Amino acid sequence: QIYSRLLGTGSALPERVLTNADLEKFVDTSDEWIRERTGIRQRHVAAEGETTGDLSTLAAQRALEAAGVKASELDLIVLGTTTPDIIFPSTACLVQHRLGANGCAAFDVNAACSGFVYALGIADKFIRSGHSKKVLVIGAETLTRMINWEERETAVLFGDGAGAVVLEASSEPGIYATCLHADGGHKELLYNPVGVSVGFKDAPNHGVVIRMSGREVFKVAVKTLDSLVEETLAAAGMEASQLDWLIPHQANLRIIEATAKRLNMSMDQVIVTVDKHANTSAGSVPLALDYAVRSGKVKRGQNLLLEAFGGGFTWASALLRY
Ligand code: ACO
């Protein structure tokens, strides 16, 4: 049996930090409201001209270094993002060239906040099928580019950042199971209304904005994640008691707490970065994973459950031994 083993992780955040107090100065909100409703205290915001590809390249270089793998050894790059630098070439191709990995397959996956876990699931299939031996998986986003800073419903929620992992084909576990799902029936609850065919107009940011019905998304997210974690455990043939860490998508601390409760896990077993990073969409899970590894929390041999829920709706999970 071939497994995908996680060799190394890396991440990158823009230097600029915007605290809740900074936001209070130009949006009708308060530090207290943001902390109580979401758990967010600050977010990193990309500088003028700083792109998803820039953050991805940095995160990838750090992951390759941690893994002891040269870019030229890669035979696949999968990048989860909903904020590509340009529409095409894909950000994966832009990053591939900057890393010096030209020639290997490279493509983007757009599954909004589930983008990284989707990319990980796809990479795992390439490895299990024998197609790929060494794979770079990236989740990266500059979602603040879509924010209307005057709309408090969304302005306080998002941040920018990237995370990456290097996977290798191995006879030892490895990723035990991945689950990927989508339901396109709820588009209007969470979306960006502008694309090449519709929506561009003479408006702030050309009409590009995040539209979200927060309360509805919250409800669907909690319910969906409950069944997702059950499905993932069953697919891996495991009990919740065998999990060492939950590494969830970092959108809202209350959603994270609900999932931990469902799994009977204490919050000491949950990696939380939403306070420092806010919701970095596809960047959030690999950023949290890299933080968990580099801080020494997650150790070799431990079982990790990764999960995410986002626009689409999409939802996805991976259960793996680090
Ligand atoms: N500051 C102060 N007040 C605010 C703010 C703000 N930033 N935003 C909204 N409010 C007000 C509202 O106007 C409302 O006022 P009212 O009661 O007078 O009408 C009140 O606060 C409550 O608003 P709700 O939207 O009901 O607040 P809720 O507790 O649901 O929290 C939140 C909102 C944080 C958005 C929450 O619903 C949430 O986290 N939803 C899920 C988000 C998510 O997971 N998204 C998925 C990933 S994103 C992606 O895929 C790109």
Using one digit for the tens of pLDDT, what is the confidence trace for 202-222? 988 999 999 999 999 999 999
Question: DSSP assignment, residue 265?
Answer: -
Q: Which of 130, 150, 172 is the last residue of a domain?
A: 172
Cβ neighbours for 2, distance < 8 A, ≥ 6 positions apart:
127, 128, 130, 169, 170, 171
CB–CB of 302/111 below 8 Å? no
Mean pLDDT across the stretch 133-157? 97
Per-residue tokens: 234 = 């069953």
Q: Which of 127, 149, 172 is the last residue of a domain?
A: 172
- One domain for residues 185 and 143: no
- One domain for residues 190 and 91: no
Query: 35: CA distance to ligand 1 center in Å?
Result: 12
Its domain, for residue 111, covers 3-172
- One domain for residues 162 and 22: yes
Q: Which of 215, 256, 275 to mutate to test the pocket of ligand 1 (most atoms within 8 A of CB)?
A: 215
pLDDT of amino acid 277? 98
CB–CB of 250/273 below 8 Å? yes
What is the per-residue burial (b if ≥16 Cβ within 10 Å, else e) of 133-155?
bbbbbbbbbbbbbbbbeeebebb
Task: Starting at the earlier edge strand, list the strands of the sheet with 245-248.
Answer: 175-182, 314-321, 303-310, 245-248
Instruction: Using only the alpha carbons of the chain, give its radius of gyration.
Output: 18
- One domain for residues 134 and 257: no
Mean pLDDT across the stretch 266-289? 98
What are 63-99's pLDDT values in tens digits? 999 999 999 999 999 999 999 999 999 999 999 999 9
Pairing of strands 134-142, 160-170: antiparallel
- One domain for residues 215 and 90: no
Q: Which of 172, 190, 223 is the last residue of a domain?
A: 172
Residue ranges of alpha helices (H) inside the chain are: 20-24, 31-38, 52-67, 91-99, 115-128, 152-155, 214-236, 253-262, 274-277, 284-294
Confidence band for 284, pLDDT divided at 50, 70 and 90: very high
CATH code of 150's domain: 3.40.47.10
| Cα–Cα distance for residue pair 140/161, rounded to 1 Å | 6
In sequence order, what are the beta bridge partners of 182? 314
- One domain for residues 204 and 267: yes
Mean pLDDT of the chain: 97
Confidence band for 54, pLDDT divided at 50, 70 and 90: very high
Q: Which of 36, 191, 218 to mutate to test the pocket of ligand 1 (most atoms within 8 A of CB)?
A: 218
- One domain for residues 80 and 120: yes
Mean pLDDT across the stretch 38-48? 98
Mean pLDDT across the stretch 105-134? 98
25 by DSSP, 3-state: which? coil
Q: Which residues line ligand 1 (CB under 6 A)?
A: 29, 33, 37-38, 112-113, 152-153, 156, 190, 214-215, 217-218, 221, 251-252, 255, 279, 281, 310-311
Question: DSSP assignment, residue 51?
Answer: -
CB-based burial label for 257 (10 Å; 0-12, 13-18, 19+): middle
Query: 164: CA distance to ligand 1 center in Å?
Result: 29
pLDDT of amino acid 90? 98
Query: 38: CA distance to ligand 1 center in Å?
Result: 8
- One domain for residues 120 and 193: no
| Cα–Cα distance for residue pair 93/202, rounded to 1 Å | 31
- One domain for residues 267 and 157: no
pLDDT of amino acid 316? 98
Residue 254 CA: nearest ligand 1 atom is 39
Confidence band for 298, pLDDT divided at 50, 70 and 90: very high
Just list the catalytic residues.
Answer: 113, 249, 279
Query: 286: CA distance to ligand 1 center in Å?
Result: 25
CA dihedral in degrees (196, 163, 57, 142; nearest 10)?
Answer: 40
Q: Which of 120, 163, 157 is nearest to 141 (CA)?
A: 163
- One domain for residues 157 and 218: no
Q: Which of 282, 290, 318 is nearest to 116 (CA)?
A: 282
- One domain for residues 226 and 88: no
| Cα–Cα distance for residue pair 34/69, rounded to 1 Å | 41
Number of separate domains in the chain? 2
pLDDT of amino acid 283? 98
- ipTM (interface predicted TM): 0.93
Q: Which of 219, 220, 243 is nearest to 233 (CA)?
A: 243
Q: Which of 20, 118, 150, 153 to mutate to test the pocket of ligand 1 (most atoms within 8 A of CB)?
A: 153
pLDDT of amino acid 63? 99
What are 145-156's pLDDT values in tens digits? 999 999 999 999
- One domain for residues 30 and 156: yes
